[in-house]
Amino acid sequence: MSELPKRLFVTGTDTDAGKTVISALLTLALDAHYWKPIQSGVNTDSDTRDVRALTGLPQERFLPEAYRLTEPLSPHEAAAIDGVRIDLNAITPPALPQDAPLVVEGAGGLMVPLNDKALMLDLITRLGLPVVVVARSGLGTINHTLLTLAALRAAGAEVAGVIMNGPPHPANADAIAHFGRVPVLAQVPMLGDLSPQGLKNACARYIP
């Protein structure tokens, strides 16, 4: 197992891959702050609120979003509907004590547009944090994950590793480690108990 970086960006192979649940585990594991720079669908969705509920950590660990968009759509479309343009220069890491651990959660996957020019991948390379890729455990994940890793490397991003999420399928994890030349940092099954205590137990059990 490789060591987790203390500051990292969590992306996924797709929306709903489990970035928020894994971010909650990583926030506990690193005793970190959590930051979701771009949140779509704020009237119903808040990953910050969800990670707070999942971890039970105090409010001060949760940094304010840079963009809070009304519609539950891709950021570029949701921003256009709200009449704003997402500016990558306006998305800077919040001021924290030096070396304070930080978990940053993206939206969707790498190729999600933020405006008419930039993708989530551009934000990742600007922030310059090592990237953890959350991948589904089941059929289809090898292709999605290897494509995601290839795109990260082509853009010059540092890949910290992959975390598999869902019913364990070790052959998929092995194939991703082998073809992706990447550490599979953890394999997290479906968790029956999403309370803070359940998350703490899962963190101790599954996160290195």
Ligand X SMILES: Nc1ncnc2c1ncn2[C@@H]1O[C@H](COP(=O)(O)OP(=O)(O)OP(=O)(O)O)[C@@H](O)[C@H]1O
Q: 27, 45, 41: which is closest to 71 by C-alpha? A: 41
Structure letter (DSSP) for residue 126: H
Residues near Mg ion, by CB under 5 A: 19-20, 47
Minimum separation from the CB atom of position 120 to Mg ion (A): 12
Q: Taking CB under 6 A as the rule, which mask of x and - marks residues 164-193 in contact with ligand X? A: -x----------------------x-xx--
**How far apart, in whole angstroms, are the C-alpha atoms of residue 153 and residue 9?**
14
Q: Is residue 75 a contact point for ligand X (CB under 6 A)? A: no
**How far apart, in whole angstroms, are the C-alpha atoms of residue 133 and residue 57?**
23
**How far apart, in whole angstroms, are the C-alpha atoms of residue 195 and residue 187?**
19
Q: Taking CB under 6 A as the rule, which mask of x and - marks residues 95-124 in contact with ligand X? A: ------------xx----------------
Binding-residue total with ligand X (CB under 6 A)? 15
**How far apart, in whole angstroms, are the C-alpha atoms of residue 128 and residue 111?**
17
Which one is catalytic: 6, 36, 117, 200? Answer: 36
Q: Which is nearer to ligand X, 90 or 194 (CB)?
A: 194
User: Residue 4, Cα to own-chain centre: how many angstroms?
Assistant: 14
Q: Which is nearer to Mg ion, 14 or 47 (CB)?
A: 47
Task: Reply yes or no on whether 36 is catalytic.
Answer: yes
Residue 90, SS3? helix
Catalytic residues: 36
Binding interface with ligand X (CB under 6 A) = 12, 15-21, 47, 107-108, 165, 188, 190-191
